[in-house]
């Protein structure tokens, strides 16, 4: 399967996941949670949804319990980069409500590469 159809499906899954986690981030900000904690909470909440949607829809693989255990490691570099970008944006006085979604948008290429490697490289194999 080519990278373009996978990339399109990854973007569609990402849009749905980003809408859900951005809404959660905004709710947490409105509740008085600091931006970094809100970003981390929303980010972690999206990992399970991303695992299911990317495995099933984007890369057409079988899910396993081991995959669910290992999958969060795919997001450690993306989360770290996102937190770093969030700090830069807030330091440059970008409003927190915008800084979180902007940081999320900018980590998409890294996230796609890591997800593709997980599902195609050393993760579960595609269904026949």
Domain limits of the chain? 3-122
| 2 neighbors 96 (Cβ within 8 angstroms) | no
- Does the structure show a pLDDT above 70 at 66? yes
Distance CA 74, CA 92 (A): 29
Distance CA 10, CA 1 (A): 13
- Does the structure show a pLDDT above 70 at 122? no
Q: What would the mean pLDDT of 54-61 be, rounded to a whole number?
A: 85
pTM of the entire structure?
A: 0.69
| 102 neighbors 80 (Cβ within 8 angstroms) | no
| 53 neighbors 17 (Cβ within 8 angstroms) | yes
């Amino acid at each position: 399967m080519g990278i373009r159809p996978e990339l399109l499906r990854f973007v569609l899954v990402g849009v749905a996941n980003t809408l859900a986690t951005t809404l959660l981030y905004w709710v947490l900000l409105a509740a008085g949670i600091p931006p970094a904690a809100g970003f981390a909470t929303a980010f972690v909440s999206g990992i399970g949804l991303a695992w299911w949607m990317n495995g099933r829809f984007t890369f057409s693989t079988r899910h396993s319990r081991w995959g669910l255990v290992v999958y969060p490691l795919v997001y450690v570099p993306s989360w770290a980069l996102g937190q770093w970008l969030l700090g830069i944006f807030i330091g440059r006085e970008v409003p927190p409500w915008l800084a979180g979604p902007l940081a999320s948008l900018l980590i998409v290429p890294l996230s796609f590469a890591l997800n593709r490697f997980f599902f195609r490289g050393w993760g579960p194999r595609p269904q026949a």
